[in-house]
Structure 1
Amino acid sequence: MANYRTVNAGAGTRTAEIDQGLRAHMNKVYGTMSVGLVITGLAAWALANLSVTGTPTEYALGNGEYLTGLGYALYASPLKWLIMFAPLIMVFAFGAVINRLSAAAAQTYFYLYAALMGLSLSSIFLVFTGVSIAQTFFVTAGAFAGLSLWGYTTKKDISGWGSFLIMGVIGLIIASIVNIFLASSGLAFAISAIGVLIFAALTAYDTQRIKTDYISHAHAMDSEWLGKAAIMGALNLYLDFINLFMFLLQFLGNRE
């Protein structure tokens, strides 16, 4: 009987340690993601302000605003294609090199990526009103919080969604690239609607996957692995948030 109580006490202690560690791990994931969002927002806002002037130049935007030389380079010159696709290239590179990086280096890489994403997204401040951008951000934050909480607390195994959702993301990328040349408003609407659904589902799916990955590896207590896992989890949720925000902006944003 004494041995039975000892075994149960040991199992209970390990369970409590895992629960406490999981909370700390998720806090690290959400905290890192939040810092990345702040970096992206500040970089986008600052670059958009540097790209516009009230002094007449040869690059008129309308409403008495003009592109500066920097603005022309970012949004009208061939450099815009590099800026547009650089975050996509960088995120694929991150997946390839993270095993060779330390946890600290991976976190630095993520923050640099967030700054580059801010550069890529800065044009939204030239297209949409600041009020509608802020409103869409808060709508996205509320939806994201609810979806992530559901993914964390649900007893339903949604791991089977993964393959379907990844195929959906690939389809969205291809359709978006095609529509750059077609400029079809109908296709753009369909892409945005499907994008909202896919990244809403991915938010719940990624949250559950971060949780189950931690529980599966918690027994090893490898601090370096846990650190990098938190960064990768933050990156996944960051991308879910950014994409959900951008697709919702197509519906909720008021254009300048």
Structure 2
Amino acid sequence: MSQFDVDSAHQNSLPQWGQTADLEAAARTDMAARFMNQVYGWMAGALAVSGVIAMTVLSSEALVGAAIRLYIPLIIAELLVVVALSALVQRMSATVAAGAFLFYAALTGVTFAPILLLYTGASVANVFFVTAGTFTSMAVFGAVTKRDLTGLGSFLMMGVVAILIAAIVNLFLASNALQFAISLVGALVFTGLTAYDVQKFKSLGYMGFSNPEQRRKTALIGALNLYLNFINIFLSLLRLFGGRR
């Protein structure tokens, strides 16, 4: 065998590093896609729970009356559940976290019922479809853009804080103009956060997780974030464009 043949055989036996890197990148991309499917699955499930509960409450005058009477306590319960879930998820099992998430979605369905009563069914349906289209568009943008949205996310979170402060102030002022501004800014902020959150959690899915339990809990937090974005976009658009009864 000539020296050339020996060298060629040696080169052919070496690992194809470029090919290996491509295979690893493809595997990570597939892993991220499966993770995001899990995120979207939990989000869709939570929205379904909220919708079913809201329709159930609306079907009964007694339940609607109870939801109205207990509206403030229910809102407080919602806040406590979502804060506890966000802060303590790493100490919970994935099963407990999933239960807390779905319980929060059920509470949201109850508190939605009195709000939906204020608007015509047609306008609620129209706003829902507009919200779904807006959310989907921004989710796709967040998934495919090469631009780092980290800076935008920090700016938008400041917007969320400003919205919360303005909403508390408006509880005392009851200003229609301020409510309009809150709804307009809210629609923009939570639309932007949708793209940011999708990019963030897709990146986490690409990097992988130490164990399936951690993966599931992270998927639940991602679903919670996207669920909150969807709900807040919907409420903001409903207040801006919903037709009152």
Q: Normalization by structure 1: what TM-score? A: 0.87
Question: Partners of 2:55 and 2:76 in 1: how far apart?
Answer: 20
Q: Is the 8 A contact 1:22 1:211 kept in 2?
A: yes
In structure 2, C-alpha distance between the alignment counterparts of 1:36 and 1:142, rounded to whole Å: 18
Match of 1:62 in 2: none
Distance 2:224 2:64 in 1: 28
Contact 2:36 2:205 in 1 (8 A): no
- In structure 2, the partner of 1:81 is 72
Tell me the CA shift for residue 86 of structure 1.
Answer: 2.1
2:90 maps to what in 1? 99
**Which amino acid in 2 is paired with 1:215?**
Y
Aligned residue number for residue 36 of structure 1: 46
Question: Where has structure 1 moved over 6 Å in runs of 4 or more?
Answer: none
Between Structure 1 and Structure 2, which shows a larger proportion of helix residues? 2
Per the normalisation by structure 2, the TM-score is 0.90
Matched with 2:161 is 170
Pick one of 204, 219, 224 that aligns with 1:230: 219
**How many equivalent residue pairs?**
235
Distance 1:3 1:210, change over 3 A: farther
- Which residue of 94, 115, 118 maps to 1:124? 115
How big is the alpha-carbon RMSD for the aligned residues of Structure 1 and Structure 2?
1.6
- Would you say 1:243 and 2:236 are equivalent positions? no
| Shift of residue 124, structure 1, vs aligned partner | 2.1
Say yes or no: does 1:147 pair with 2:157.
no
8 A Cα contact 2:32 2:203, kept in partner: no
The question of whether the paired residues in 2 share the 8 Å contact of 1:45 and 1:125 is answered with no
Greater RCO (CA < 8 Å, at least 6 residues apart)? 2
Unaligned runs of 5+ in 2: 1-10
1:207-252 deviation line (CA, Å, top 9, x unaligned): 1111112223x2x552111111111111100000000000000122
Identity of aligned residues (%): 41
1:48 maps to a residue whose letter is: L
1-structure distance, mates of 2:101, 2:171: 27
Q: Is the 8 A contact 2:50 2:106 kept in 1?
A: yes
Q: What is the letter of the counterpart of residue 198 of structure 2? A: T
Residue 180 of structure 1: which of 171, 174, 183 is its match?
Answer: 171
Aligned mates of 1:235, 1:145 — CA distance in 2: 16
Counterpart residue identity of residue 169, structure 2 = V
The answer to whether the 8 Å contact 2:33/2:202 transfers is no
Q: 1:211 aligns with which of 190, 202, 207?
A: 202
Amino acid at match of 2:86: G
Aligned match of 2:150: 159
> What SS does structure 1 have at the residue aligned with 2:117?
helix
How far has the Cα of 1:153 moved from its partner?
0.2
Counterpart in the other structure of 1:71: 64
What is the distance in 2 between the residues matched to 1:4 and 1:16?
21
CA deviations on 1:73-100 (whole Å, 9 max, x unpaired) are 321x3x3211123222211110122111
> Which of residues 33, 36, 39 in structure 2 aligns to 1:23?
33
One-letter code aligned to 2:105: A
Distance 1:3 1:174 in 2: 65
How far the C-alpha of 1:205 sits from its partner, in A, is 0.5
The AA in structure 2 aligned to 1:234 is: A
Distance in 2 separating the partners of 1:198 and 1:177 = 18
Letter in 2 for 1:71: V
Q: Give how far 1:71 is off.
A: 3.4
Give the residue type in structure 1 aligned to 2:236.
Answer: F
